[in-house]
Structures are given as C-alpha cells and as structure tokens.
A and B are shown apart, each in its own frame.
Chain A
Amino acid sequence: MKETIGKPESSIEVIMLCQICNKKTATIHLTEITDGLRNEMHLCERCAVEQGIAAQGQVSINELLSSLLAVQPSDEELFEPSEGEMSCPQCGFTLDKFRREAVLGCPNDYEYFEKALLPLIERAHNGGTSHCGKIPSKTPQQTKKQMKLVNLRQQLDAAVRKEDYESAARLRDEIKQLES
C-alpha cells in the first residue's frame, strides 16, 4: 500500500533547501508512507514539478493536466504496463510523451489512445465526452485520408533526415496528389 500526501505550504518557519537541487528553498513538503515506513521529501517548486509531484504556483491548464497525469498512482491499472510506450503509427507519439508535454502528437492520437485519454477528457470537461457543437459546413475529408497524409509527412521527415532525396521527392508528389 503506497500512500502519498503532498501539500504546498506558504509559511515555512525554517528555511530548508530543496533536497534535489540543493539551491532553491524547499516549498513542497511531501510525506510518503510505504508499507508503514514514513519517508519525507522537501523540494523546491521546480524540482517538484520535474518530479511530477506538484503543479507550478501559477499553473496553466496544460501544466496542471500534465502533473495530474504524472501523479496518477493508478497508471498501471489504467493502461497495460507497456501502454505508456505504445506509439501512434501516424506520428510516433507515446503516452509517456503526453504526460511530459500535455499536448498530443496528431489528430489520430485521440482514436489511438482513446482508452487512456477518455477519463482525462471527461474530467477536463465536467463529464462531457462527445461533441455537440459546430459541425463544419463542408463535410470533412475522410479520416483515413487525413491519417494517410500524416503518415506520409512522417515518412517525408524521416527521408529528409536521412538525406534520401529520391524517396523524399516521391513522398512529396504522393502528398500533393492526395491533397488535390
């Protein structure tokens, strides 16, 4: 049984340095009880954020989300252990990256990581999980075609990186054709 109790304190009587960077004042004090053993941690805000323990003082929604995801103790219950490393075939994005950056890699991620994202989406939108607003006046292009384009662009990037200009030219033509 692992339990984490963390709370940022605004008035600290004794100034304590962060035990990770040893430079800044520790403002986050964390008591962790694992199997009955008590362990205390004292961190500055920045290191706490880096450790995924706390959100910054003035948090943007993104940062808050990312920290929410990072502290979720039930990661392993939520997805299979390897799911954090599963990568989207369209853009190569992983859930681990999402936890760090709080933004997704491509539109297809919503479908590919749906199971993992849904609880988060629900929480962020007061229980809302499906769209009931504007519908584009022009029917959107087939999702499959959109996915293919993302995929081709991914291959194009790789070809350019490898200086394989022959493949790059072919991929560029293919993208152009699909778009027109």
Chain B
Amino acid sequence: MKLTDISSDINEWLSGTGPLSDIVVSSRIRLARNLAGHKFLSRCSAAEKAEILAKLKDVLMSLDFGDEVFYISVDKTSDLNRDFLVERHLISRHHAAGRGPRGVVIARREFFTAMINEEDHLRMQVLKAGCQLSKCYEQINHIDDMIEQKIDFAYSPRFGYLTACPTNLGTAIRCSVMLHLPALKMTGQIEKFFNAAKDMSLAVRGLFGEGTEAASDLYQLSNQVTLGVSEEAIVSEFEGNIIPEIVEYENAARKELLSKKVDTLDDKISRAMALLQHAHLISSQEALFLLSHLRLGINMYEHMGATTPALKRLRDLAGQHRDKSNHVTDKDKGLSIATINRLFMLTLPAHLQLNYGKPLDTTHRDALRAKIIRSALNQET
C-alpha cells in the first residue's frame, strides 16, 4: 500500500453525501487514550516511545476493521508524505511536526485513522460524510472496545480516561463537524455563528484544525468540555441542538441571498466560474475560495431549486458534463459536489506534487492547479 494509491481520488467522507450534506460536509469523532503503566509522552524516552508505538501498532493491526489497514511510520516518511497526510486529515499538524518514534494506522477507505504518539499515546478518529456523529461514535466506540480487550488504558474512576492535557480528561472525546457557511459570510453574519459557538462552549477552527485559518468558508466546530458529561450526551447535543441551529442560520442566509441579494450571489458565482474556467495560475487559497462559491451554487439549485441567471449557467455547465459523460463512473459525472470536493482536495500542494511524481515550485503548482481545474470545468482533455 502506497500513498499514491489513495492520492489520486477523494476519500469517502468528502463524497458530498449524507444527511444535511449541503451544509454539514463531514462528521468526525476522536478519542484520546494512553496506555496504563506508561508515562505521558512528554516524559518518555525514545525507547519508551518506541515500546508504546510497537504495542499499539500490533494491537491495531490485528483488529478487524472491515477494511484493509496500513501503517505509516510518520517519523521516517518524507516531508512531502507528511504534508499529504495532513492535507488528507489523516494526521494532525502536531503529529507531522512531532519528534521521536510515531506513526499512523489508516483504513484504506479512510473512515478510520489512529495516530500513535501524538500528544497522547493514541488518538483515533472515525470520519463520515454529512451529519453522522452518532454513527461515528457507534463505530469508534466499538473499535475502542476491541482495543480494550487487548490492552489497558490509563483510567481512573473519578477522572475517567487520563490524558496528557487536562482539557481532554474524562471521555477524552472530540466531536467535530465540518460546516460550509458561505452565505453567512456573504451576508456579513458569520459573527452570529462565532457567537453561537462561544455561547455553547464550542471551539471553532479552520479547515485544517487548531491554528489554521478558515479557508474556503469551511469551519470545524467541536466540543471543548469532556469531563462531567457522557459521550452520548455530547453527541446528542450536537445532533439535537447545535447543528440544527447553525444549519438554520446558514439556510436563512441562503434564502436572504435569493430574496434580497441576488446580484451579490450571482456576482460571486459568475466570477468564480469565469476565473476557474479560464485562469492559468491559481494559488491554493484562491482555489479554495472560488470552489467554495461553486459549491454554494450547486447546493442552492440542487437543494433549494434556486434559479438565478448565474445558477442557471452553472447548472448548464453541470448539465453539459452529464450529457457528455454517460459512460464514465459516478465520480466523473458532471459538476457535482463530489467533483468540487475532488478538485478542492487534489489541488492542495502536497496532493499536486505527490500525484505529479516530483516536487514543484509555487509557480508550477499554481499552473498545474489551474490546468486541472480548467480541464474539469471545461471538459478539456
């Protein structure tokens, strides 16, 4: 199993499907665990880290995930591979930049990954497309049970699962949803979202987790409180209250665009189409920004039946694709959300270079990115 086996396509959780997928792009649940009888990583020698790594790797690789699993030694792999794993959300930036023996176990379909020796000995996550936190929890809880049959985690009846940082103590769970909120931004109401998150003690991060800025109107919303509340309660609070509230805000903003600000909406979508169809150099940031507007446009006509002049043109563009591509697989069919997500991920710097087969400087990357996007939107060959 090589990274290039997965780098030329998107993962399942970016397929643009699942409940509420016009706003909730994906759901993720992460659990943090530490082995009993070992120190936390900040106090571990390289030898102890290697011992922890070997134990966890053996256990994880012996489990039945219903999918092929493979292991990557994060400390030994190249910088480009590490960047790729971060872009792909398979490891965190912290893990990529860490020191000493560390690795990641990945299920081939990428719904599951387990980072070994990140901040805690084990940080594993399950990801799914759309709003599916309960299913994520069900699956990761099952995996956690299987691991606990083979190994003991540091746990105290009083504080629950013991983590290196007290902020993760207790359930050590982090529920996150990746939300696409372009209309709140366009209508100048994104503060509403930030305030709601703050009121509910939730953290908002950019696309690539802690410390990254919100690119492409994608925000990760996650819980901060992990002690004194059960896993089920956290998940059901997200699904029952938090997500519906934010989805309602974004939907109201989308309706406002259609009823009062059609010119703003059409201008953004037309500009995005024009630039993406014709530009010869596009930076990663610009691509994320413009593709976000196309994603909004497609969702507005697919989910709301909206038909503004720009949306009609976008729809025609998508329609042309469908006519021409009767014989190709689903993933190539027309300008779907999956196509947008695909362009979005495959044009990130490390993806570009890994798929090209060698390192490229910024200008060459910008040119290659523009070419890939042009050919997808114009059906060039």
Chain A residues with a Cβ under 8 A of chain B: 58, 60-62, 65, 90-93, 101-107, 110-111, 117, 120-121, 124-138, 140-141, 143, 145-146, 149-150, 153-154, 157, 160, 178-179
Contacts and interface: CB of A to CB of B under 8 A. Distances in A.
B167 A65 contact: yes
A179 B38 CA distance: 11
Contacts of A58: 210-213
Contacts of B166: 65, 104, 110, 117, 120-121, 124
Nearest to A61: B167
A179 B170 contact: no
B173 A133 contact: yes
A30 to B, nearest CB: 24
A131 B162 CA distance: 10
A143 B40 CA distance: 15
Contacts, number: 159
A126 B228 contact: yes
B141 interface: yes
Interface stretch (B22-30, B219-227, B311-319, B334-342): B219-227
A134 B228 contact: no
Contacts of B38: 106, 149-150, 153
Contact of B165 (A62, A107, A126, A179): A62
B36 interface: yes
A102 B210 CA distance: 16
Contacts of A138: 148-149, 152
A145 B37 contact: yes
5 contacts: A104-B164, A107-B40, A131-B160, A134-B161, A136-B153
Interface stretch (B43-51, B107-115, B255-263): B43-51
A143 B227 CA distance: 20
A157 B46 CA distance: 10
3 pairs of A and B residues whose beta carbons are closest in the complex: A128-B228, A131-B160, A149-B37
B190 to A, nearest CB: 17
A140 B152 contact: yes
Given A103-B40, A153-B48, A140 B227 contact: no
Contact of B36 (A60, A107, A111, A128): A107
A136 B272 CA distance: 51
Interface string B186-207: 0000000000000001010000
Contacts of B210: 58, 60-61
A135 B154 CA distance: 12
A126 B225 contact: yes
Contact of A150 (B39, B230, B231): B39
A124 B161 CA distance: 16
Nearest to A103: B164
B231 A133 contact: yes
B150 to A, nearest CB: 9
B228 A130 contact: yes
A131 B225 contact: no
A125 B228 contact: yes
Contact of A160 (B39, B47, B164): B47
B42 A105 contact: yes
A58 to B, nearest CB: 5
Given A105-B39, A106-B43, A150-B37, A128 B165 contact: no
